[in-house]
Amino acid sequence: MLNSVKFQGGELAGLIVAVSFAAGLNVYATVATLGLLAHAGVLDLPSGLHLLASWWVIGASAALFAVEFFADKVPAFDLVWNALHTFVRVPVAALIAYGAASHLSPEKQLLATLAGAAIALAAHSGKTAARAAVTPSPEPASNIALSAGEDTLAIFLTWFASVHPVIAASIVAVFLVMIVIVVRAVARAVKKLFRGAEAELIPPKRRDLNAA
């Protein structure tokens, strides 16, 4: 068995940041990976997260990951799936952060919980925005590739955070900046689309009067 890693201070913060982001992308893959890493002796889970190492939790997460693996790759349906999972990914990420910080003071534990939820929400929002931009494409390949990339990133970040938590958190910081840019771009595109649709609904005579 490999020597497990215990996290303190900045390393614990890095782990929470990276895992919360991964959960925002694919919470089932994240939970299953954490449990498997604990069983492999790579990761020494904080006492508040020992439940994740249960084979029941790992098995259920793996089964749900298999369902999401296919459901998340169906154009249009993936938008509905992701919308519903707003109420799964963010709360679970908050609970993971809460458990990871169980040995800290109540104030720091609350801060960790809020940070975990906020980071997961940012990752989830970025994922949803990217899907909204890709879904109109007539071919399914781009949607499938994007989904597979998100699944891979969630698993990689969870594993990488178990060995290099600070670097993993730095990678997440870069992704958060990219998400802000993507969300703003999508929001502008949607706003422009609605403006165009509104302009088409205005009768020509009224449009001329407004122009005058």
What amino acid is encoded at 112 in this protein?
A
Element housing 95 (H / E)? helix 86-100
Q: Does residue 205 form part of some domain? A: no
User: For 159-191, how does the pLDDT look when each residue is reduced to its tens digit (9 = 90+)?
Assistant: 999 999 999 999 999 999 988 887 787 778 777
Largest alpha-carbon pair distance within the chain?
79
Domain total of the chain: 1
For residue 178, what are the contacts with CB-CB under 8 A and spacing of at least 6? 126
Q: Does residue 207 form part of some domain? A: no
Kindly state the DSSP code that residue 43 receives in the 8-state scheme. B
For residue 74, what are the contacts with CB-CB under 8 A and spacing of at least 6? 140, 143
Q: Does residue 148 form part of some domain? A: yes
Q: Does residue 182 form part of some domain? A: no
Kindly state the DSSP code that residue 72 receives in the 8-state scheme. T
pTM of the model: 0.84
Alpha carbons 69 and 167: distance in angstroms, whole number: 27
3-state secondary structure of 91: helix
Backbone φ/ψ region at 9: left (φ over 0), alpha (ψ -120 to 50), beta: left
Question: Does the pLDDT value for residue 200 go beyond 70?
Answer: no
Q: Does residue 208 form part of some domain? A: no
**What percent of the chain stands above pLDDT 70?**
85
Backbone angles phi, psi at 43, to 5 degrees: -125, 130
User: For 29-54, how does the pLDDT look when each residue is reduced to its tens digit (9 = 90+)?
Assistant: 999 999 999 988 888 888 889 999 99
Q: State mean pLDDT over 7-16.
A: 85
User: For 107-119, how does the pLDDT look when each residue is reduced to its tens digit (9 = 90+)?
Assistant: 999 999 999 999 9
Q: Does residue 85 form part of some domain? A: yes
Q: Does residue 196 form part of some domain? A: no
Q: Does residue 161 form part of some domain? A: yes
Query: Residue 39, Cβ neighbours under 10 Å: how many?
Result: 15
User: Could you tell me the residue range of the domain that residue 96 belongs to?
Assistant: 9-176
What amino acid is encoded at 116 in this protein?
G
Element housing 123 (H / E)? helix 106-134
Alpha carbons 178 and 163: distance in angstroms, whole number: 24
pLDDT given at position 128: 86
